[in-house]
Amino acid sequence: MSHKAESTQAIAEIKEQVQFEQWKKQIEERQAAGLSIAVWCEQQGISKTTYYYRLRRVREHMCHVAGVLPESTNEHHIVPIRETVRIPAESRIEIVSGDLRISFVGEPPSSTLKAVVEALRPC
């Protein structure tokens, strides 16, 4: 790889890291403010789809940094499971692995819980 290509790749990686940090800070600020996602997004002038995209990307990035998920291959995996457990809306689920802490408030989709557990299983 040429020096210019290495430099370009390094700049792209730093730009991505800064972006993730900005998104992470925004997500933390929304949570600390106690605003609903809909209200916060309206105040920020972004769609809920954008918010959830950023949230997913930040979570994936944190899992990659923590070493609990392999680097992204842009492949999507479908994990079939049966919906048999119902979680009360006022409940909170927290998964901790080393410095990584993943929290769900309310009832996350069972496919999300399954994917997180499977990703953490090798650790």
- Is residue 81 within 8 Å of 111, Cβ to Cβ? yes
Domain count, the chain: 2
Q: Which domain holds residue 22?
A: 1-72
pLDDT at 45: 94
Residue 104 predicted with pLDDT over 90 = no
Same domain, 50 and 109: no
Q: Are strands 92-97 and 100-105 parallel, antiparallel or unpaired?
A: antiparallel
Q: What percent of the chain has pLDDT over 90?
A: 12
pLDDT at 11: 87
pLDDT for 59-87, tens place per residue? Answer: 888 887 777 766 555 555 555 555 555 55
**Nearest CA among 63, 72, 57 for reference residue 118:** 63
Amino acid at 64: H
Take residue 95 and report the two structure tokens written for it.
Answer: 């998964």
Same domain, 7 and 55: yes
H or E stretch covering 105 = strand 100-105
Name the more confident of 56 and 82. Answer: 56
Reported as a pLDDT band with limits 50, 70 and 90, residue 122 is low
Same domain, 46 and 100: no
Same domain, 56 and 107: no
Distances (CA, A) of 93 to 26, 41, 89, 90, 107: 22, 24, 11, 10, 9
Q: What percent of the chain has pLDDT over 70?
A: 75
Chosen domain end from 31, 53, 72: 72
pLDDT for 21-36, tens place per residue? Answer: 899 999 888 988 888 9
H or E stretch covering 92 = strand 92-97
Same domain, 31 and 53: yes
pLDDT at 64: 76
Instruction: Centre a 10 Å sphere on the Cβ of residue 50 and count the other Cβ atoms it contains.
Output: 13
